[in-house]
C-alpha cells in the first residue's frame, strides 16, 4: 500500500509538473528535430519547489530518445521515452500550435482514475505518452 501511495503521489507531482511547464522555442525546435538539447527549470508544485530537467538525447534505433527528470526532496522521478517519428511530430505540432484551449480529463493510472483539470492540448498529449508503458519507462528513486 505504501508503494502505491508513493506511486500516486509521484504521478500527481509529475502531472502537475507537466501542467505547469511551458516549452521554450529552443526546446520545441530541438525536440522536433530530435537534436540533443537539455533544458532545466524549477516549478512550484503545491508547497514544494520541483526541479525539472528535459533532455532530448537524439536518435537511437530510429526513435527519438527523450529523458525527463523530476527532482523532489523525497524522490527522483526519471522517465525515459523512445518516440517514433509520428509520435514526435504529434507532440511537436501540439507544442507549436498551442491554442490555450483547456481540457479536463479522467486519467487512468492503471490503479485508479485521477481527474486532471485545465490541461492544454500539448500537456494532454505529453501526459498520455509519458505514462504509456510501451513508449516511456519510469523509474522512481527514493532520495
Domain ranges for the chain, please list them. Answer: 2-142
Alpha carbon distance 106, 48 (integer Å)? 25
107's grid cell: 486519467
Whether this prediction's pTM lies above 0.75 is answered by: yes
> What is the model's pLDDT at position 127?
85
Q: Which residues of the chain have pLDDT under 70?
A: 1-21
> What is the model's pLDDT at position 23?
81
Residue linked to cell 505529453: 126
> What is the model's pLDDT at position 105?
84
> What is the model's pLDDT at position 43?
82
> What is the model's pLDDT at position 18?
54
> What is the model's pLDDT at position 17?
52
Give the E-state strand segments of 61-108 in sequence order.
Answer: 63-71, 75-83, 103-108
Ramachandran sector of residue 67 (left: φ over 0; alpha: ψ -120 to 50; beta: rest)? beta
Give, in degrees to the nearest 5, the angle at Cα 16 between 141 and 25: 100
> What is the model's pLDDT at position 35?
97
Amino acid at each position: 500500500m505504501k508503494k502505491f501511495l508513493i506511486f500516486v503521489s509521484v504521478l500527481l507531482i509529475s502531472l502537475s509538473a507537466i501542467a505547469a511547464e511551458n516549452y521554450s522555442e529552443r526546446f520545441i525546435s530541438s525536440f522536433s528535430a530530435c537534436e540533443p538539447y537539455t533544458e532545466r527549470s524549477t516549478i512550484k508544485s503545491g508547497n514544494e519547489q520541483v526541479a525539472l530537467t528535459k533532455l532530448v538525447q537524439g536518435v537511437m534505433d530510429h526513435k527519438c530518445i527523450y529523458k525527463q527528470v523530476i527532482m523532489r526532496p523525497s524522490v527522483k522521478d526519471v522517465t525515459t521515452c523512445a518516440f517514433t517519428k509520428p509520435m514526435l511530430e504529434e507532440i511537436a505540432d501540439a507544442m507549436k500550435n498551442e491554442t490555450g484551449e483547456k481540457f479536463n480529463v479522467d486519467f487512468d493510472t492503471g490503479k485508479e482514475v485521477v481527474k486532471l483539470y485545465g490541461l492544454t492540448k500539448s500537456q494532454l498529449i505529453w501526459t498520455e505518452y509519458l505514462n504509456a508503458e510501451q513508449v516511456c519507462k519510469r523509474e522512481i528513486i527514493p532520495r
